[in-house]
């Protein structure tokens, strides 16, 4: 048996290692760190290759590849979305990701991204909330209490300073699960029996439901002036959460218009409906919230740059730790032209 060379080895972060890393850093600190990395990359947005994700749709769900590069490092995420999975005891979303050196094409990190996507999605939401939510917001309605809900609540606490969450899900067991998991977080957690109740007094409204359909989780009469809506459940063609009239009353902010117009809430609107790109708000070239009565809407679908930022953060944080395994992933023959000879010598 031959011993792999250093060039053959790629750091791999497993689910177990990711959980250990999160606990070693602290979940709220990690959410703040991820937000900082995402913000830094949004502020250099123009350096990145940008393309809508490559999606393979089926009746059951979608499988997607999300690639990008800043010219020095290339990254991609594999991710699925299968709403029916929950009924079969499976995750609705699973993911893994990779970073590679653009100069030679060699991978430099392979990582689980099911947990990491939960963290980066929440960090992105709260980062955007820091720019768009009403000043001094303390209360968030969390509509949809599935796998993403606790991450969202903790991120808005860590990054935006909310202290109260009002929970609603069509499945009361999901609400009970979310409330139980948030016990001891420092948040005041209020389970609610209707979405209208959940939105009472909330300055921030987060919607995160899973059905792959045109749905109306929020109707126009439920949304008053002066709120920030963080809509993260509508993330593929044919899947929305908000009534169209809410969109027409809101100032809409998006990651990458070419993708959001296909997948986001704004698929309900005309293709030229005005939206503002978040990177422009973060660089100061466009305005965010300008009025206390304004309704701001983050039409969130997730974009590859956010995954790139998260992977870049993980690559930095695992250095000098035991939170990864070196995988023998890359063939490294003594003579680059003699790949077959390397195979023969291993016989």
Catalogue the active-site residues: 235
The rounded distance, in Å, linking the Cα atoms of 240 and 267 is 8
Question: To 10 degrees, what angle do helices 27-42 and 15-25 make?
Answer: 100
- Alpha helix positions (H), the chain: 15-25, 27-42, 114-132, 149-155, 172-182, 195-198, 244-249, 257-263, 278-283, 304-317, 339-345
Phi, psi of 195 (to 5 degrees): -65, -35
CB 253 within 8 A of CB 229: no
The rounded distance, in Å, linking the Cα atoms of 127 and 155 is 9
Give me the numbers of helices (H) and strands (E) for the chain, helices first please: 11, 17
> What is the DSSP pairing of strand 62-69 with strand 54-57?
antiparallel
CB 300 within 8 A of CB 125: yes
Q: Which has the closest alpha carbon to 143: 233, 259, 50?
A: 233
The rounded distance, in Å, linking the Cα atoms of 282 and 251 is 16
The rounded distance, in Å, linking the Cα atoms of 203 and 250 is 14
> What is the DSSP pairing of strand 204-207 with strand 73-81?
unpaired
Residue-by-residue DSSP string for 272-313: T---EEHHHHHHTSS-----TTPPEEEE----HHHHHHHHHH
CB 139 within 8 A of CB 166: yes
């Amino acid at each position: 048996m031959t011993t792999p060379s250093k060039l053959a080895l790629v750091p791999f972060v497993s689910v177990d290692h990711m959980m250990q890393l999160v606990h070693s850093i602290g979940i709220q600190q990690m959410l703040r760190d991820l937000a900082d990395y995402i913000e830094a990359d949004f502020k250099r947005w123009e350096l990145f290759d940008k393309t809508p994700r490559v999606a393979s749709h089926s009746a059951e769900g979608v499988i997607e590849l999300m690639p990008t590069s800043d010219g020095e490092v290339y990254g991609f995420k594999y991710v699925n979305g299968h709403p029916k999975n929950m009924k079969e005891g499976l995750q609705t979303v699973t993911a893994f990701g990779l970073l590679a050196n653009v100069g030679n094409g060699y991978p430099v990190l392979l990582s689980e991204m099911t947990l990491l996507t939960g963290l980066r999605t929440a960090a992105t939401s709260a980062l955007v909330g820091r720019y768009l939510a009403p000043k001094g917001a303390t209360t968030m309605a969390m509509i949809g209490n599935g796998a993403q809900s606790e991450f969202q609540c903790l991120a808005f606490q860590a990054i935006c300073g909310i202290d109260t969450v009002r929970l609603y899900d069509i499945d009361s067991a999901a609400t009970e699960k979310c409330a139980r998991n948030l016990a001891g977080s420092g948040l005041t957690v209020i389970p609610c029996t209707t979405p209208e109740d959940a939105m009472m007094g909330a300055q921030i409204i987060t919607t995160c439901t899973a059905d792959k359909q045109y749905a109306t989780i929020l109707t126009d009469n439920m949304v008053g002036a002066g709120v920030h809506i963080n809509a993260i459940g509508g993330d593929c063609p044919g899947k929305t959460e908000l009534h169209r009239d809410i969109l027409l009353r809101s100032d809409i902010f998006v990651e990458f218009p070419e993708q959001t117009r296909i997948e986001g809430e704004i698929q309900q609107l005309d293709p030229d409906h005005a939206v503002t790109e978040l990177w422009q708000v973060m660089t100061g070239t466009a305005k965010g919230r300008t009025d206390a009565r304004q309704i701001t809407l983050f039409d969130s679908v997730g974009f590859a740059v956010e995954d790139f930022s998260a992977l870049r953060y993980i690559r930095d944080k695992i250095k000098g730790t035991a939170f990864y395994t070196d995988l023998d992933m890359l063939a490294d023959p003594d003579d680059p032209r003699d790949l077959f000879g390397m195979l023969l010598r291993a016989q």
